[in-house]
Amino acid sequence: MKVEKIYGDLPMDLVRIQARCFLENIGSARVMEKRQCLLKG
């Protein structure tokens, strides 16, 4: 999946976006699951 993000006036062709959350932060983990983030490790 290729993601295109606009930052100011400059388009960025993003291939991967990384995200992390603390183990205790169940809400943030659930949001990442809903956005179909993949667990790599």
Q: What's the pLDDT tens digit per position in 1-35?
A: 455 565 666 677 777 788 888 989 999 888 888 88
Domain membership of residue 29 (yes or no) is yes
Domain membership of residue 9 (yes or no) is yes
Residue type, 9: D
Report how many domains make up the chain. 1
Domain membership of residue 17 (yes or no) is yes
Domain membership of residue 16 (yes or no) is yes
Domain extent, residue 30, equals 3-34
**DSSP string for residues in 1-41:** --EEEEETTEEEEES-------TT-HHHHHHHHHTTPPP--
Whether pTM > 0.85 for this model: the answer is no
Q: Looking at residue 25, what is its pLDDT?
A: 92
Domain membership of residue 24 (yes or no) is yes
Residues 6, 4: Cα–Cα separation, whole Å? 7
